Structure 1
Amino acid sequence: MAPKGYQEIVSIDGSLTNHLRKLNQWQWWFLVALNIFFLVIGQSAAILLGRFYYDQGGNSKWMATLVQTLAFPILFIPLFLIPSSQEPPTPLVPPSIKILALIYFSLGMLIAGDNMMYSVGLLYLSASTYSLICATQLAFNAVFSYFINSQKFTALILNSAVILSFSAALIAVNDDSEGPSGVSKWKYIISFLCTLGASALYSLLLSLMQLCFQKVIKRETFSMVLEMQIYTSLVASCVSTVGLFASGEWKSLHWEMVTFGTGRVSYVMTLVFTALARQLCSVGIVGLIFVVSSLFSNVISTVSLAITPLASVIFFHDKINGVKVIAMLLAIWGFISYIYQNYLDDLKARTTQNDVSGSHNDSSA
């Protein structure tokens, strides 16, 4: 029998999508594991490279925003390699080009704004502090999923959301918190609020994407997932490019490259690998929305954010005081609470399906 997440992906009429119906349990788990790998590796690498960019002399917030979506053309490779579905067309009327364009444009604009807020947040925060604040996105997503996606809001999920909120609050009131180079308290507060706001907006984006797949697009295939990622990233990249030139930051890019702490080649490679890592992370995020749910996708993001502070200690020698340790443990506790709830839901689903199957066999006999 398939796990709970497998059963959650349903089309509008309540049946499994044609794409996932073909997958057995092990294929489904492999797809989930692959997307988790993309998300965790991509997100951790992108945060560390973003901090490295600022530490070595980079200062363009719009460039840091642009590289988060600029590598979207590489997604055309899997899009062309994935064969078209051979299933007969569904009786549901697909959305018009205008509707799809409006969805992609709106989500792309939100993504650009979200990426900008994340860039400002990382500018004045250490990688470990930034990651722990970002972990609050799970609490935000639990709320948005409840109101937008009709996600169950159980005691364990509520416990997870509250614990993650406490984790962020500890970081906020920590008197020893400071930026990577001793920035002022005012700049620290700005970065904290930007990161917190970006986490909330990011969670809203995940729920809106899931809602679009279920209610508007109505074709939950991986090709559609890739198309959404490509076109929203295209819009976000255009917005970021306009911001880069309108702000005048493009004039300082050459000077950034010349004065970059580890050299010109390192400057270019940092931006390139940041772009690739962000795109890898985005594929994993949207893939998990497609295969499981937006809340599960955000939980895996939170796991990565709980791991990143340890990596920042190794690579950037970030200070991990007692408050940060407690905040990180709370983030892990919040994640475990949600996973345990997922386990209970899966156990209940298995029991129910076994009872239904047994009743059906008895009636057939």
Structure 2
Amino acid sequence: MKIPTLASRLALCGLIGLCTAAPALAADDAYPSRPIHLVVPFSAGGQFDFLARLMAKSMSKNLGQSIIVENVGGAGGNVGGAKVAASKPDGYTLLEYGGNFAIAKYLTPNLSYDPVADLVPVAAISIAPHVILAGKALPAKTFKDMVAYAKANPGKLSYGSPGVGTSMHLTFEEVRQHFGFQATQIPYRGGSNMLNDLAGGQIGVGIVAVGPALPFIQSGKIRALAVTGKERAPSLPDVPTISELGYKGFDSGSWAGIAVPKGTPQPIVDRINKSVNTALHDPEVLKRFHELSFRPLPGTPAQFRQMIDEEAQRYGPIIQALHLVQK
């Protein structure tokens, strides 16, 4: 009996390896072959929900499969995040991933999952600036008036945010510290309740994303004092940026993207990334983005990972300084 040579044995092993890999490659090439679920980790009707449904509509066209948006709220987004992290890594369960996940380990160290290590960043979608607002009860027509009022009346100014540890809360604290005034946060369960109280005079100042605030601003119920993006918001062209007002280079906002469970094959990650970037060039998507001051963020998975890391590095120290860690 002829003993196979080393070369022939290696060739045979290579052939077996190719045969073994063939089903996986074929599965990736066929993706997607059925509907996809996109988990929004917050309740319906908010900014994240709006963005997910807008993107799902466009992405379903270029993927050739429907995308079902599923709202799974709770625990600052972590109920939905944990569900996706525990899902099968096959590209059929996606997570709308925001800044809340980048800082979750600082806020809640004892989570049942790791919101960074257990999820793979696929693509950023957009960023929307926050807007600092004043109600009619506050004798301040401009941002500088608000700062002057707070300094002249220490302990009297309160501001509403959509919740403890949200990007709006941390952004206002960053601004407050830079300009050197006092203000007490009043956390709400979402931005809509805060806006209603601001318009009703229960609080003097608030901070929220531009989109939800627009109807209140346009109706004259509240005043826009400043936006937190690096540029003026298209929907509020007369409102100055925090950078213009003296905090040079300041840029903050609510951003969102797509993530999948760890272990998802790279070809599927790349396919979803391509779908997101294609949607970000869809004229209908861009029109709605412009109307609500969203800025599209096309890019690679690596660029999205860098964005997540930078968010954690920026806000981690603020969370610790404010003693916001939840046991």
Structure with bigger gyration radius: 2
Answer yes or no: same fold by TM over 0.5. no
- Which one scores higher on RCO, CA 8 angstroms, separation ≥ 6? 1
Q: Give the TM-score normalised by the residue count of structure 2.
A: 0.24
Larger helix fraction of residues: 1
Q: Give the TM-score normalised by the residue count of structure 1.
A: 0.22
